[in-house]
Amino acid sequence: MLLAIDVGNTQIKLAVFEQNTLINKKIIPYSDWKKEVENTLIFFSEIKNIAIASVGKLQKSDFLGLKEGMEVSFISHESKFPFQNQYTTPNTLGIDRMVLTSGAVLQFPNKNRLVIDAGTCITYDFVDENNVYHGGAISPGIRLRYASLNNFTANLPLLAIDQPKNSIGNSTEQSIHSGVINGITFEIDGFISSILNKNDNFIIILTGGDAEFLAERLKNTIFANSNFLLESLNQTFQYNQQ
């Protein structure tokens, strides 16, 4: 049994796996991470391994000594991945993006794959049917866009995420919702269309905390799975154990 830990920019996700079956999942704040991990290890006493992917503040040393005899695997640039990396600055490629690409290759063999992770940032990662990773794009996520409008203007309010009633907002609040939500969906659909025009035999994977919210608004056919990074982390761990 494996405990997979995704350390993100704003929160931490825990998932317990038995082989490829997701047994339990929780999302926790940074302030409670150690207590929550320890409680999970107590409740699921069969856990023998921890696999961690971190783009946040926690490192491997933070997880050592949580349980006697526990194996801690910290996925890094030195880990094995099932793809050829053609990124020109490979050491700056986020581990989360590498794990997502790994999962796409392992779950969907012999296809062109575009992985879109809609979290704090929206990342796009393209790996072709020959398992060659080409790169992608990074843009602000939903909450960053709302926050930036508030932080960098004098009078625009900070709003919670909401569906715009129309494309043409008839108030400042509706204009903000339209600009943020429609702007992101147009961006994602446009990015997908530009890739599809050049490639066939394709699968588009949408994941991240905002995946379900965005999936309903996108025109293109996608495979939406908010747990894809955790599943990919589990599979990357298994790949490194082989």
Per residue in 10-30, pLDDT (tens digit) is: 889 999 999 999 999 999 999
Rg, Å, the chain Cα set:
19
Task: For residue 53, report the phi and psi dihedrals to the nearest 5 degrees.
Answer: -120, 125
Does residue 5 register a pLDDT over 90?
Answer: yes
C-alpha 100/C-alpha 121 separation (Å) is 14
Given 6, 32, 62, 96, the catalytic residue: 96
The model's pTM? 0.93
pLDDT score of 103? 98
Per-residue 3-state assignment (H helix, E strand, C coil) for 114-128: EEEEECCEEEEEEEC
128 is catalytic: no
pLDDT score of 147? 98
pLDDT score of 108? 97
Q: What pLDDT, in 10s, does the model give residues 61-112? A: 888 888 888 899 999 999 999 999 999 999 999 999 999 999 999 999 999 9
pLDDT bracket for residue 60 (50, 70, 90): confident
Output the CA–CA distances (angstroms, integers) from residue 92 to 11, 53, 56, 98, 184, in the order listed: 21, 15, 14, 11, 25
* Tokens read off for 173: 């609040």
